[in-house]
Amino acid sequence: MKVPESLSLAFGSEFERLISDFINQEKLLPEETSLGSNRFLSRAVIPHILKLSQLYNREDKSQASSLPAYWKDSSNPQNLRLAYFLYFMPCNLFRMASIWAELARLGFQWKPKRLHGIEFGAGPASGLCGIAAGETFASIQAPQSAQWALIEQDQAILELGSRWAQTYTQSLGKLDWGIRTFHRKIDLKRGFLPKSAPVFNLWLMSYYLNELEISPQDLAPLLLDSWQEHLEEEGLVILMEPALRLQSRKILELRKALLIELQKRKRDDFKILLPCLGHQTCGALENPDDWCHEEVTWWRPPYLRKLDSLAGLDRKSLPFSYLVVMRTRRSREEILPALKRMPENQRHRLVSPAHAEGRDLEFFTCGQDGKKRARYRTEQPIQRGDILLGSQLRGDRNASRVEGSPEVIE
């Protein structure tokens, strides 16, 4: 995944001024200059950042049981919300925008009459804002007019997120974006949405599934039921989850379960577009210690660099796992024209960094023939997320060689 420079540079001083003015207007700071005070940040913000980072990075178990308790029992909920908003919201916003940019990179164009989106577990609306940033700096020709529904069980962060989304989208010139909020906890026994709910053409879930105590095998039919009822033809679904092994494998298992459920229902009107370039068996799931994730880099807001320094953290690079699903009967090559109708067995995505081995570059690649360690002799720099078109691999999964002169989609 290669993020366009315009997007990676979109969170500098101007973004910082916008967010600073917003949190002062919301009276989240004791004084207007507090965002520049190391003392205030170290005492009121950094402890929450460190605690949340610890909870988000627990590789040994689900986050479903630990995170809600911390949100509920915090001794200073206002500073907790401030810490999450300042530190985690921009990172998740950029991740979502990067997924949108990946669609643009592969030539995807999307032209419904009106964008009608829904974000589950919306929190501070980082998903919605990520779509706004993605469309501004890596457009797929989405409609200028939009109506959003935000669903969140924490009312305070939901209301904060709604006001922030209005501020941020207007700063990007999205003047015809309406937002409605719904304060509720989803009861999966009743489905994600009631039967009377409208249909949407953009469905977002970011860092939401990992907090559900339900298996991918049980989740897949519930999602498909909802998409059949509430996702328009040519509608998009974007699922984004942590890059940790447990959570990443959960979304890979969900992909597998969705494909099994689609086959069981004999439906051909849903396609998984990204990051996989087909409906092949997931190569990462073959090894119980393996998983699949993306990583993007950006220029952090100046205040976020300060928070990183004070907390001893580093968010220059942002890892995540994701799926993009589309309700469509069109071919994948028609939807993503950069693939140029190349045979599926000649499309391979790099799923690791490439490093030098003698005169070769070595990396892991994934395609119709599974996940393989491969070598390629080329002078062209390649990196994680690049796609090789017209590539033919010779050898086994542990030692393959890329033959021919494939085109590289950077």
* Res 270 pLDDT > 90: yes
pLDDT tier for residue 69 given thresholds of 50, 70 and 90: low
Measure CA 15 to chain center.
Answer: 20
Q: What is the mean pLDDT of residues 282-288?
A: 86
* Res 50 pLDDT > 90: yes
pLDDT tier for residue 1 given thresholds of 50, 70 and 90: confident
* Res 258 pLDDT > 80: yes
pLDDT tier for residue 78 given thresholds of 50, 70 and 90: confident
pLDDT digits (tens, 9 = 90+) for 202-242: 999 999 888 888 999 999 999 999 999 999 999 999 999 99
How many residues would you count in the chain? Answer: 410
Q: What is the mean pLDDT of residues 24-42?
A: 92
The pLDDT value recorded for residue 71 is: 57
* Res 143 pLDDT > 80: yes
pLDDT tier for residue 73 given thresholds of 50, 70 and 90: low
Model-level pTM? Answer: 0.94
The pLDDT value recorded for residue 182 is: 95
Cα–Cα distances (Å) from 195 to 154, 186, 191, 199, in that order, read 23, 14, 9, 10
pLDDT tier for residue 101 given thresholds of 50, 70 and 90: very high
Treating both helix axes as pointing N-terminal to C-terminal, what angle do 89-105 and 126-137 enclose, rounded to 10 degrees?
40
Cα end-to-end distance, the chain, whole Å:
8
Going by CATH, does the domain composed of 5-338 fall within 3.40.50.150?
Answer: yes
Window from 60-64, 141-145, 288-292, 395-399 with minimum mean pLDDT: 60-64
Answer positive or negative: Cα dihedral of 168, 211, 253, 227. negative
The Cα–Cα gap between 63 and 54 comes to 11
The pLDDT value recorded for residue 306 is: 96
pLDDT tier for residue 67 given thresholds of 50, 70 and 90: low
The Cα–Cα gap between 12 and 349 comes to 31
Question: Do 262 and 235 form a contact (C-beta atoms < 8 A)?
Answer: no
Peptide bond before 275: cis, by omega within 30 degrees of 0?
yes
Buried b / exposed e along 258-283 (16+ C-beta atoms within 10 A): bbebbeeeeeeebbbbbbbbbbeebb
For the chain, give the percent of residues with pLDDT over 70. 96
Exposed/middle/buried for 104, CB within 10 Å: 0-12, 13-18, 19+? Answer: buried
Residue 84 in tokens: 């999450």
The pLDDT value recorded for residue 68 is: 59
Question: Do 269 and 329 form a contact (C-beta atoms < 8 A)?
Answer: yes
Compute the half-sphere exposure of residue 370: CA atoms within 13 Å on the CB side of its CA.
Answer: 15
Measure CA 333 to chain center.
Answer: 22
The pLDDT value recorded for residue 75 is: 62
3 state SS for the chain: CCCCHHHHCCCCHHHHHHHHHHHHHCCCCCCCCHHHCHHHHHHHHHHHHHHHHHHHCCCCCCCCCHHHHHHHHCCCHHHHHHHHHHHHHHHHHHHHHHHHHHHHHCCCCCCCCCEEEEEECCCCCHHHHHHHHHHHHCCCCCCCCEEEEEEECCHHHHHHHHHHHHHHHHHCCCCCEEEEEEECCCCHHHCCCCCCCCCEEEEEEECCHHHCCCCHHHHHHHHHHHHHHHEEEEEEEEEEECCCHHHHHHHHHHHHHHHHHHHHHCCCCEEEEECCCCCCCCCHHHCCCCCCCEEEECCCCHHHHHHHHHHCCCCCEEEEEEEEEEECCCCHHHHCHHHCCCCHHHEEEECCCCEEECCEEEEEEEECCEEEEEEECCCCCCCCCCEEECCEEEEECCEEEEECCCEEEC
For the chain, give the percent of residues with pLDDT over 90. 68
pLDDT tier for residue 342 given thresholds of 50, 70 and 90: confident
Question: Do 3 and 99 form a contact (C-beta atoms < 8 A)?
Answer: no
* Res 244 pLDDT > 80: yes
Q: Where are the domains of the chain?
A: 5-338, 342-409
**What are the two backbone dihedrals, phi and then psi, of residue 370, each rounded to the nearest 5 degrees?**
90, -165
The pLDDT value recorded for residue 61 is: 55
Q: What is the mean pLDDT of residues 378-390?
A: 89
* Res 104 pLDDT > 80: yes
* Res 58 pLDDT > 70: no
CB atoms within 10 A of CB 43: 11
The pLDDT value recorded for residue 222 is: 96
CATH number of the 342-409 domain: 2.40.50.140
Cα angle: 344, vertex 393, 388; to 5 degrees: 55
